[in-house]
A and B are shown apart, each in its own frame.
Chain A
Amino acid sequence: DQQVKQNSPSLSVQEGRISILNCDYTNSMFDYFLWYKKYPAEGPTFLISISSIKDKNEDGRFTVFLNKSAKHLSLHIVPSQPGDSAVYFCAASADGSSNTGKLIFGQGTTLQVKP
């Protein structure tokens, strides 16, 4: 049972345009969401996060939107750059409500930004 789903395995966009990566979740107890980026042969690196008390968080070119009623979050990258080409994972936790320490990841979306 996949509690966090990234239904698009891959996404290709042109340099300078917007990249939108989507993530859906099923567990209404999740209260913290994170995005990680992963290059080949490296470990994932933290990108941006959002608490369930917010619906938007912005950091430079990266913005995460949370729609709790739809149990959906998205990562927007504007403008996209070739260096953004990587695998993106969304992750969710119920840390605030249960402090269990469990973190659930989606399957990942491979983003390719073409020059």
Chain B
Amino acid sequence: EAQVTQNPRYLITVTGKKLTVTCSQNMNHEYMSWYRQDPGLGLRQIYYSMNVEVTDKGDVPEGYKVSRKEKRNFPLILESPSPNQTSLYFCASSRGGLGQPQHFGDGTRLSIL
């Protein structure tokens, strides 16, 4: 089954404690991206990757890091989480350019206390 898998699905943690949200896709997609969803703001792109070892900033990259060492994995790293990063996060992947529909994971709800 084609899917994008995010882990964990839920996490409550404290300010400053480094965390990583993993994202893995089994569709051999070149493009992967991270978004956060906040009330009234819709989905905002954090980082994206056009292919292995190619990453770039989206609209709200501050406080986040990513890496793309393998095609299937695109982890999101919060080095020093802060309460304003409390949000619902989605990973997505697609084949090729943005004209192709993106497949989204089911989301990770992060609460930073």
Verify B48–A101 contact, CB threshold 8 A.
yes
A-B pair number, CB within 8 angstroms? 75
Q: Which residues does chain A contribute within 8 Å of B105, judged by CB atoms?
A: 43
A36 to B56, CA, bound (A): 23
Are B45 and A49 in touch, CB under 8 angstroms?
no
Q: Which residues of chain A come closer than 8 Å to B90, judged between CB atoms?
A: 43-44
Q: Are A43 and B4 in contact (CB under 8 A)?
A: yes
Report the contact-size class of chain B (Cβ under 8 Å from the partner): 20 to 34
The number of chain A residues touching the other chain, given as a range, is: 20 to 34
Cα A56 to Cα B39 in complex, Å, equals 30
Report the Cα distance A4→B48, complex, angstroms.
19
In-complex Cβ contact of A103 among B33, B40, B41, B50 (8 A): B33
Measured between beta carbons, the chain B residues less than 8 angstroms from A42 are 106-107
Q: How far is the CA of A43 from the CA of B109 in the complex (A)?
A: 12
Distance in Å: Cβ of A104 to nearest Cβ of chain B: 7
